[in-house]
């Protein structure tokens, strides 16, 4: 690979001039520019980005830390993040944390090592203690500190809509199927919205959650139904839980939506893979990804950043209610 000096020599100019040409900065005579460009072409010269970053003391690489990229919601999110970043000359690094704090911390270190310039963070870990203020980090569905930018869908409104919808469909025995709320995330507000809507109307409902993470989801669903088999309307906190519940109900001879109606949350894309279209609260995951990308870039470039994005959700009518 040829360096800036090779180009300078071939073009018969100084390295400063070459730098000015490749960066379109400062003055350079049209004649000289032509000579330099010719030399660049002849040598197939490409500026070494490492050297540039070393001087600029920054990196145009953004890391996306998430539990696993192998999840339809996250991979769609990642897609949109990458599209926006790339349009602005940034690159996207992916880290599957698998919920391991050590791996998350490792990537935070890359911030100091200047490998990456910023982080978009989807996590349930308690990493507050490890984070100093004013780090170029954007979190999703998580309000870590007052300083930190975060983005989420309107979980609270979504919970309310789910309750309202189930009622409007004639359900009288409502239930909430939650996950593992061991950490305080914005996702809790789904339940809160659901609860508040019903409580305001003095309508009782049952709730099922599990403090400890359970490996076997099918067992989890079974436990849920064994305890609450009289329900005729369920709000599942994620689409995947909703689908699993529907499959379970079918397996025990219950009909959806006739016997039980189910509403999910997320709006994951299915590529026509599912036969029953799920009624669900759709997050604008594309917009969320774009907002996340723009926010990190703004932090990195020290521009103004909105501290908080709460994006509107929408109920999509499917065949499960």
Partner DNA sequence: CTGTTAGCGCATTCAT
Partner DNA sequence: ATGAATGCGCTAACAG
> Of these partners, DNA, its own copies, none, which one is at the site of residue 75 (CB under 5 to 8 Å by kind)?
its own copies
CB-based contact 118:295 (threshold 8 Å): no
Task: Single out the residue of 10, 24, 25, 218 in contact with DNA (rule: CB under 7 A).
Answer: 25
Q: Which of 25, 275, 302, 304 binds its own copies (CB under 8 A)?
A: 275
Q: Which is nearer to its own copies, 166 or 249 (CB)?
A: 249
Could you tell me how many residues of this chain bind its own copies (CB under 8 A)? 56
The phi, psi pair for 214, rounded to 5°, reads: -105, 135
Hunting for tokens 């070393």 — which residue is that? 54
Distance of alpha carbon 186 from alpha carbon 181, whole angstroms: 10
Q: How many residues bind DNA (CB under 7 A)?
A: 33
Provide the 3-class DSSP secondary structure of residue 49.
helix
Among 38, 42, 51, 182, binds DNA (CB under 7 A): 51
Residue 109 partner contact from its own copies, DNA, none using kind-dependent CB cut-offs of 5 to 8 Å: its own copies
* CA distance to 66, 166, 243, 276, per residue, from 231 (Å): 34, 11, 16, 20
Residue 15 touching DNA (CB under 7 A)? yes
The whole-angstrom separation of Cα 220 and Cα 152 is 27
Tokens standing for 120? 């978009």
Using the rule CB under 8 A, is 92 a contact of its own copies? Answer: yes
- Indicate whether 226 belongs to the interface with its own copies (CB under 8 A): no
Residue whose pair of structure tokens reads 């219950």 in the numeric block: 254
Residue 94 Cβ vs its own copies, minimum distance, rounded to whole Å: 5
Please list every residue from 192 through 211 that binds DNA, using CB under 7 A. none
Q: Which residue has the tokens 């509403």?
A: 263
Task: Provide DSSP, 130-160.
Answer: GPPTT-SEEEES----SSSEEEEE-HHHHHH
DSSP-assigned beta bridge partners for residue 149: 138
- 3-class secondary structure, 254: coil
Q: Two tokens at 207?
A: 């709730």
Helices (H), 61-201: 72-87, 101-112, 155-168, 188-200
CB of 45 to its own copies, least distance (A): 9
Interface of this chain with DNA, residues 31 to 50, rule: CB under 7 A: 31-33, 45-48
d(CA 89, CA 61): 9
Q: Which does 28 bind (CB under 5 to 8 A by kind): its own copies, DNA, none?
A: DNA
Among 37, 43, 52, 195, indicate the residue that binds DNA (CB under 7 A).
Answer: 52
CA-based torsion, 274, 277, 282, 284: positive or negative: positive
Report the residue number, 59 or 185, with the smaller CB distance to its own copies: 59
Quick one: which of 6, 9, 37, 96 contacts its own copies (CB under 8 A)?
96
Q: Give 13 or 256: the residue with its C-beta nearer to DNA.
A: 13
- Per the CB < 8 A criterion, the answer to whether 221 and 229 are in contact is no
Residue 3 or 96 with smaller CB distance to DNA: 3
**Contact window for its own copies (CB under 8 A) among 68-76, 138-146, 203-211, 312-320:** 68-76
Residues that bind DNA (CB under 7 A): 1, 3-5, 12-20, 22-23, 25-29, 31-33, 45-48, 51-52, 54-57
Query: What is the binding site for its own copies (CB under 8 A)?
Result: 1, 44, 46-51, 53-54, 59, 61, 68-72, 74-76, 78-79, 82-83, 86, 91-96, 103, 109-110, 112-115, 217-218, 239-240, 243-244, 246-247, 250, 268-276
């Amino acid at each position: 690979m040829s360096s800036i000096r090779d180009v300078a020599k071939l073009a018969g100019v100084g390295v400063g001039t070459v730098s000015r040409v490749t960066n379109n900065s400062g003055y350079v005579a049209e004649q000289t520019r032509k000579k330099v460009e010719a030399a660049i072409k002849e040598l197939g010269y490409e500026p070494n980005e490492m050297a540039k970053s070393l001087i600029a003391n920054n990196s145009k690489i953004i890391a996306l830390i998430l539990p696993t990229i192998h999840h339809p919601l996250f991979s769609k999110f990642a897609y949109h993040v990458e599209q926006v970043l790339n349009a602005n000359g940034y690159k996207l690094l992916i880290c599957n944390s698998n919920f391991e704090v050590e791996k998350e911390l490792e990537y935070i270190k890359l911030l100091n090592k200047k490998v990456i310039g910023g982080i978009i963070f989807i996590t349930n870990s308690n990493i507050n203690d490890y984070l100093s203020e004013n780090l170029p980090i954007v979190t999703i569905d998580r309000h870590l500190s007052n300083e930190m930018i975060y983005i989420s869908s309107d979980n609270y409104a979504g919970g309310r809509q789910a309750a309202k919808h189930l009622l409007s469909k004639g359900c009288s025995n409502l239930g909430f199927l939650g996950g593992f709320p061991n950490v305080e995330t914005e996702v809790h507000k789904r339940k809160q919205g659901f609860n508040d809507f019903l409580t305001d109307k003095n309508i009782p409902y049952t709730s099922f959650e599990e403090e400890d993470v359970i490996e076997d989801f099918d067992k989890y669903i079974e436990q849920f139904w064994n305890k609450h088999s009289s329900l005729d309307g369920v709000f599942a906190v994620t689409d995947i839980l909703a689908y699993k519940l529907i499959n379970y109900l079918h397996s025990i001879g219950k009909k959806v939506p006739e016997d039980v109606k189910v509403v999910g949350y997320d709006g994951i894309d299915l590529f026509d893979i599912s036969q029953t279209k799920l009624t669900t609260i759709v997050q604008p995951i594309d917009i969320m990804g774009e907002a996340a990308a723009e926010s990190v870039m703004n932090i990195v470039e020290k521009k103004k950043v909105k501290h908080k994005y709460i994006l509107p959700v929408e109920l999509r009518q499917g065949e499960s209610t």
